[in-house]
Amino acid sequence: MASPSWDLGSLSVFEAVGRLENLTLAARELGMTQPAVSYQIKRLEERLGVALFARRARGVEILPEGNILYSAVRQGLDGIDEALQQIKRRQRTPGLRIATDYGFAAFWLMPRVAKFRPQHPSVDVRITASSMLQVNNYKEADIAILFGGREDFPANAVPFITEAVTPVCSREFLRQHGPFPHGKGLSRAPLLHLDTLQGNRWYTWESWLDEIHQEIDDDHAGLVFNTYNLVLEAAVANQGVALGWAGLIDGALKRGQLVPACEITLTSNKGYWLLTNPDISDIAHQLCTELLATEPDT
């Protein structure tokens, strides 16, 4: 942060002189007199105790100390200019910024965005997806839809989708390897695992099977993926059985790409929670409400 004792006006004069390498041209650009520009530079040099420019017959030459200051001032002005442009863009084009994880973005959000966009073609929808999103990572978004328990979120978080998990696979896989009545035999079937390095944040095959009193044999191999998109793609491709979260597998079930591998659905006190940025604009809040209420095409 710039010290309030520094005159930002002098720094803008310094930037113009450094860029143009001429006091007269800088004065013309700034609408000042040449002596006034020279005075501002002299004051700056006196405060720093070093010369910033060498005066030449046809202008000025920036010195090493001047180059250090010029680089910092130029960087600061570029950042300010970009901020001003962003503000102008936000005023010109309505924007909607959403933060969530990969699975929710791909399987719940995108089908609704596809239906929402034709109705609002001028709205700039920006989705930030990550498998490692934490509660404090959504400050740059208008809304965030994140997974966890009540204890993971602030008091203003709203429950959105409760965790409800059913094993799913392709119809062909079930014909070849099933049936799995009441989940029996799943622990010996080819299983598709999601590994996001987040421990037991949500159901894993181990915790799901444990609740129905089964366990995976130590030598039982499966396929492990780091995104839920790949897990479901593998299930559709007859590669095994995946855990299917309500809200994320609905489209694949309706299209017949996946079917329940058994009739058991387990729930927990976790799920997706909706967080709204306190600084959200009225128009963004209205757009978020409409998007979240959109029913996707089947």
Q: What is the 3-class SS of the chain, one letter each residue?
A: CCCCCCCHHHHHHHHHHHHHCCHHHHHHHHCCCHHHHHHHHHHHHHHHCCCCEEEECCEEEECHHHHHHHHHHHHHHHHHHHHHHHHHHHHHCCEEEEEECHHHHHHHHHHHHHHHHHHCCCCEEEEEECCCCCHHHCCCCCEEEEEEEHHHCCCCCEEEEEEEEEEEECHHHHHHHCCCHHHCCHHHCCEEEECCCCCCCCCCHHHHHHHCCCCCCCCCCCEEECCHHHHHHHHHCCCCEEEEECCCCHHHHHHCCCEECCCCCEEEEEEEEEEECCCCCHHHHHHHHHHHHCCCCC
- The stretch 2-20 carries a mean pLDDT of 77
- The stretch 215-233 carries a mean pLDDT of 86
Percent pLDDT > 70 in the chain is 90
The pLDDT mean for the chain works out to 87
pLDDT of residue 50: 93
pLDDT of residue 1: 40
Residue 226 token pair:
């780091």
Residue 2: pLDDT band by 50, 70, 90 thresholds?
Answer: very low
pLDDT for 156 beyond 50? yes
- The stretch 91-96 carries a mean pLDDT of 66
pLDDT for 117 beyond 70? yes
- The stretch 141-150 carries a mean pLDDT of 89
Residue 109: pLDDT band by 50, 70, 90 thresholds?
Answer: very high
pLDDT for 93 beyond 80? no
Do the beta carbons of residue 275 and residue 138 sit within 8 Å? yes
pLDDT of residue 140: 75
pLDDT of residue 279: 81
Question: Is CATH 3.40.50.300 the right assignment for the domain spanning 8-92?
Answer: no
Percent pLDDT > 90 in the chain is 48
State the residue for tokens 């035999």: 185
pLDDT of residue 89: 53
Do the beta carbons of residue 145 and residue 102 sit within 8 Å? no
Domain locations in the chain as residue ranges: 8-92, 94-298
- The stretch 85-91 carries a mean pLDDT of 62
pLDDT of residue 12: 86
pLDDT for 148 beyond 70? yes
pLDDT of residue 240: 96
pLDDT for 270 beyond 60? yes
Domain range 94-298, its CATH number among 3.30.300.30, 3.40.1480.10, 3.40.190.290, 3.20.20.100: 3.40.190.290
pLDDT for 4 beyond 50? no
Specify the range with the lowest mean pLDDT, choosing from 151-155, 187-191, 215-219.
215-219
